[in-house]
Chain A
Amino acid sequence: MVEFYRPQTLEEALQIRAEKHATPLAGGTDLLVRYRNWAGTLPKLSNSVVYVGHLPELGGIGVSGNGVGPEIRIGAAVTYSELLAHPSIPEILKRASWELSAPGLRNIATLVGNICNASPAADAVCALYVLDAEVEISGPKEPRRVPLHEFIQGPGKTVLKNNELVTAVYLPSSSLPITAYHKVGTRRANALSKLSFCGVAKLESGSVAGVAIAVGAVAPTVVRSREIEQRITGLRLDDIEASMADIMAGYDELIKPIDDQRSTAVYRKQTAHGLIERFLREEIRGAS
């Protein structure tokens, strides 16, 4: 029988995961839409669920030093509204959280739900890629940390085992203050993205001192290339144009979108291309 479990502690929740392999439920804004059924009937869940959205151990945003700089820990039950209200959350993640949805969704939907859902169209995930986020996994063994790009394996696929829970997301200190975020969708609130773009950078005396670029919904997972970013780093702003064709040829190889009900592959490819170019030509100069 499909059951609803409401543990009182994280320990109890992990025990339910280990024994019953129940599906974690946080805000439910992905899960309950996916298993939607006729009005007045139970959702079409084939597996039991374990509610984790209320667990005190998964709440709260903490800032601590780790020797290199401040590190931010975001608990797995933290909602977008809580992210937006917190002074230490990096601008790019706030932009993604803000664009993401309406108040009624931001108040309940969690950042970790967005990650675990592993949709290539997940807006916040795109921002977390440029922030070098790490995912904390707890289970029968000691909690472990996995870089986000290793945690997400493909559409709907993560490395999480059926006896584990994600307990937090860590953001290392972010030193790239120039921020550009674009979501291309049909309606501003409550619409899944056709694609999303995140760019962050830092300049030093007219040259690129650091850059990170991620594009969501144009390939099975978010596209980010450290190799191309390395090539951009060190370039003088005025020399970017001369390398543009080369840079864009690199991105075009990685951008492999599909046609779906929200958009076409051709549209996505051209738009992604245009957004990267605009970032490198204009937005990277900051100020605007």
Chain B
Amino acid sequence: MGHVRARSRPSAGALAVLGLAVIFFVLPLAATVQFSLQHGSQAITLAPYQEIVSDPLFWGSLQFSVTMALLTIVLGMLVVVPAAYWVRLRLPQAHGVVEFICLLPFVVPGVVLAIGLARAYGSGNAGPLSNFQVLLVGAYTVLSLPFLFRAVDSGLRAIDVRTLTEAALSLGAGWPAVLWRVVLPNIRAGLLAGAFLVFAIVLGEYTIASLLGFSTLGVYTELEGAAHAHAAAALVVLSFALVWSCIGLMQIVSGGGTRMLEGGGAR
């Protein structure tokens, strides 16, 4: 009962914190929206949005960033999922080391990473990595390691990896079937959470992209902001909406399975 009452009548302290949080998040956003629609005291206009939407550079950078994000997600998952799975299954003693390695990108500033990468691989004799697009995806994959590993690993922790794997093997499943039919479906929520984080990070990334000379959405936003303040505000609102629709989309996609389970539970 106490729990229910606490819920229906939150304490004054909780309300204050919530209010501060709302102000902290909503005020800048509201100001940005307002700034993107109004020049000073003039009438509201959608002109900045038209400017953005009609700029082919915007569409080009958006397409490029989305492509990079998707490639990063695929490459990151290909690296992280088997590694995290194998560590849980066969090398639990290596868990700490692997987690530490995956956290390293947090300690290396983006500028250092970008310049280091360009110097190491930019000379033209580093095979496919001499191609800066490949290099960019590689850099983004490294950047997303901490998020991906955390998300995948917590998904794996929630299931009995060893027993499920052995059950599948005893039923005649080979390793690809174990991963595809048993491991992946059972860590789907973790995979989606990780994928979303990577998507949002790559879409907003500026430092590495600009140092390697690419026009990503992040770089375009910076340039636009320098040149046209109101259009830049409109761009921020647009990418904000884009990111949140991605969250919504993933909720729907991942919620499908969960809801099916819960619906069954009521039977």
Q: Do A and B bind each other?
A: no
